[in-house]
């Protein structure tokens, strides 16, 4: 099974199940059509036509309109005529066809579930001065979950490779992944039998999104039983982090161990969802992968060792020069 097929499968499953996950956390809201809304005059018991006239909700939420007035009304998506325009221009508003309750009478109600983010103006086609708006924000959960929206009951999550030899402990920070924000994927390898950390394992790692390999590192080597990778996603959507080809060399405590030499079944896939970031539209962070970090530490180590050595050499040379001042030929007085 190739990587593109797996990515396509994950995307398909995500589309099927993410909606279910969103609905399980959806909320219900009520908007009242107050008594007096039928009257366009300024001196009317109704302070607003729909109460509240502006409402912010999340994708998957349901709004129920209750008719508390004495006449029938509609909830129709589109733009109304305003309090005065309908009298001057005979404008009765313009529906856009997204939703329409048709007429419902006093004491009745009508509900609608918003499945897409955006702003939705609506009005009453019978009384076109009645206007209001719904703001629908994207659904972003506050817990780590897989690409289908299923919450990880324990996090970091883990899996055991198909050959039952290695346990991979996996997590990411921040736990809710958004576009244009740096995410750290952190993982550790354990012996699945003895539950001890494995050190210096060689493995391959890849990050896939929307059937595309965004990042791939082959023959990476873990240190101290674990490793990390950083990435910044430019697009929302489900992702897969694939760890594979784990080589049969490791260490339990201080004792060398040998895993089976067939690394075909020594792999693991982890999925997550990337959400569109409503607060950031450009990427400003910098990715630093482990090899760059090692290079940075190497340069620091070189500076720590080389600079003092140079300073010591200069000091020794200076001291030698001070102990042995230069000698000058003796001058003899000449008779005048």
Which two structure tokens, joined as six digits, stand for 110? 């009508």
**Alpha carbons within 13 A on the beta-carbon side of 99:** 18
Instruction: Report pLDDT for 184.
Output: 97
Give the torsion sign (CA, 305, 306, 310, 316).
positive
Poorest-confidence range of 37-41, 91-95, 148-152, 297-301? 297-301
Q: So what's the pLDDT on residue 36?
A: 92
In which band, very low, low, confident or very high, does the pLDDT at 11 lie, cut at 50, 70 and 90? very low
- Check residue 217 and give its pLDDT: 95
Q: What is the pLDDT at residue 84?
A: 62
Local structure of residue 192 (DSSP, 8 states): T
**d(C-alpha 199, C-alpha 196), whole Å:** 10
Distances (CA, A) of 150 to 55, 207, 220, 315, 320: 28, 20, 30, 65, 74
Average pLDDT, the chain: 82
Which residues have C-beta within 8 Å of that of residue 120, sequence separation ≥ 6? Answer: 77, 98, 99, 114, 133, 134, 135, 136
Q: Which residues contact 24 (CB under 8 A, 6 or more apart)?
A: none
Identify whether the C-beta of residue 124 lies closer than 8 Å to the C-beta of residue 80: yes
Count of residues in the chain: 336
Query: What kind and span of H or E run contains 15?
Result: helix 3-24
Instruction: Look at residue 134 and give its three-state secondary structure.
Output: strand
Please give the Cα distance from 122 to 117 (Å, whole number).
Answer: 15
49 contacts 121 by C-beta, under 8 angstroms: no
Q: What is the mean pLDDT of residues 72-81?
A: 95
DSSP H or E stretch at residue 183: strand 182-191
Q: Tell me the percentage of the chain whose pLDDT exceeds 70.
A: 73
CA 210 to chain centre: 15
- Which tokens go with 287? 């990715």
Query: How does pLDDT run across 116-172, given as a tens digit for each residue?
Result: 999 999 999 999 999 999 999 988 999 999 999 999 999 999 999 999 999 999 999
| Banded pLDDT at 305 (limits 50, 70, 90) | low
pLDDT tens-place string over residues 190-236: 989 888 888 788 999 999 998 899 999 999 988 776 899 999 999 99
In angstroms, the CA 65 to CA 109 distance is 5
Of 62-66, 114-118, 231-235, 282-286, which range is least confident? 282-286
Domains plus CATH for the chain? 26-137 (2.60.40.420), 157-290 (2.60.40.1930)
pLDDT one-digit tens code per residue, 236-281: 999 999 999 998 665 554 555 567 667 888 999 999 999 999 888 8
What are the tokens at 81? 């005529």
Token pair belonging to 282: 């450009």
């Amino acid at each position: 099974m190739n990587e593109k097929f797996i990515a396509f499968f994950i995307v398909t499953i995500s589309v099927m199940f993410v909606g279910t996950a969103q609905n399980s956390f959806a909320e219900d809201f009520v908007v009242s059509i107050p008594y007096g809304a039928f009257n366009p005059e300024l001196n009317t018991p109704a302070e607003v036509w729909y109460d509240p006239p502006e409402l912010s909700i999340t994708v998957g939420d349901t709004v129920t309109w209750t008719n508390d007035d004495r006449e029938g009304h509609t909830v129709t998506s589109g733009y109304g005529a305003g309090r005065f325009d309908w009298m001057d221009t005979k404008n009765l508003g313009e529906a856009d066809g997204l939703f329409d309750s048709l007429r419902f009478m006093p004491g009745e109600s009508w509900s609608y579930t918003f499945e897409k983010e955006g702003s939705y103006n609506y009005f009453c086609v019978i009384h076109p001065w009645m206007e209001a708006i719904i703001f629908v924000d994207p659904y972003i959960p506050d817990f780590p979950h897989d690409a289908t929206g299923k919450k990880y009951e324990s996090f970091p999550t883990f899996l055991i490779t198909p050959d039952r030899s290695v346990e991979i402990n996996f997590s990411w920070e921040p736990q809710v992944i958004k576009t244009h924000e740096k995410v750290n994927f952190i993982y550790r390898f354990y012996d699945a039998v003895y539950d001890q950390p494995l050190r210096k394992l060689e493995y391959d790692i890849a990050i896939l999104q929307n059937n595309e390999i965004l990042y791939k590192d082959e023959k990476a080597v873990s240190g101290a039983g674990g490793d990390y990778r950083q990435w910044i996603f430019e697009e929302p959507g489900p992702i897969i982090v694939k760890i594979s080809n784990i080589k049969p060399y490791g260490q339990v405590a201080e004792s060398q161990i040998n895993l089976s030499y067939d690394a075909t079944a020594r792999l693991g896939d982890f999925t997550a969802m990337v959400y569109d970031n409503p607060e950031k539209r450009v990427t400003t962070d910098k990715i630093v992968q482990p090899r760059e970090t090692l290079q940075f530490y190497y340069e620091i180590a070189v500076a720590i060792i080389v600079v003092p050595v140079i300073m010591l050499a200069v000091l020794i040379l200076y001291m030698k020069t001070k102990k042995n001042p230069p000698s000058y030929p003796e001058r003899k007085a000449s008779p005048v």
